[in-house]
Chains A and B, each alone.
Chain A
Amino acid sequence: EDQVTQSPEALRLQEGESSSLNCSYTVSGLRGLFWYRQDPGKGPEFLFTLYSAGEEKEKERLKATLTKKESFLHITAPKPEDSATYLCAVQARSGGYQKVTFGTGTKLQVIP
């Protein structure tokens, strides 16, 4: 069964204090790994798609990287507006279907 584990569950950073969020996965036939941001009471907002090991993508203060077993979301010099829950999801082929599995997320709080 496909598994996605995110760590830490919660992270509290001072404004400007860089850090990384981890997403480890166990799937067969990975088609893509995705990062989303979710604010309280709202739907997830797409950030990145990574398709193969070694791939990196950047957007403002965020950088996502992918290896064969895990992905990291690096946050450089975070600001309070970066506070949110960050979700990782993997897409894999499952019995002729394309199936998406989400992790439980890392809740990030950035303190001014």
Chain B
Amino acid sequence: DSGVTQTPKHLITATGQRVTLRCSPRSGDLSVYWYQQSLDQGLQFLIQYYNGEERAKGNILERFSAQQFPDLHSELNLSSLELGDSALYFCASSVVQAALYNEQFFGPGTRLTVL
């Protein structure tokens, strides 16, 4: 158990809909990362937040957005869903200090199925 929690575990929805995925980082971790993992593309970095502020952006679509709240939990919002958005969505957290990289601890993931 990494200490990172994600809800829900599974989500089934229809095209055109909007969903929200939730992540709670490990206690003490200030940084949250979101990843998408599909069968044909591997693990794709979407976005990172550090202490409430956006820190890095990867291949995140404009239909997707995220935020990190004062209690450090994060939400990933996916809208106008398409079939191709079906994937495993992982959240990871790390401490992230100024001059050091801390390894990321991954949650169990949310499996999104768009029908």
A binds B: yes
Which chain A residues have a beta carbon within 8 Å of chain B's beta carbons? 31-32, 34, 36, 41-46, 49, 51, 87, 91, 94, 97-105
Interface of A is mostly: strand
9 contacts between A and B (CB under 8 A): A41-B109, A43-B4, A43-B107, A45-B2, A46-B103, A49-B103, A97-B56, A102-B35, A105-B43
B108 partner residues in chain A, CB cutoff 8 A: 42-43
Q: Is the interface of B mostly helix, strand, loop or mixed?
A: strand
What's the tally of chain B residues with a CB closer than 8 Å to chain A? 27
Task: Tell me if A42 and B109 are in contact (CB < 8 A).
Answer: yes
**Known contacts A41-B111, A97-B57; can you find 15 more A-B pairs with CB under 8 A?**
A31-B101, A34-B104, A42-B109, A43-B2, A43-B90, A46-B103, A46-B105, A87-B42, A97-B56, A98-B55, A98-B101, A99-B45, A99-B58, A102-B43, A104-B41
- Our pick among A42, A91, A102 for the contact of B101 (Cβ within 8 Å) is A91
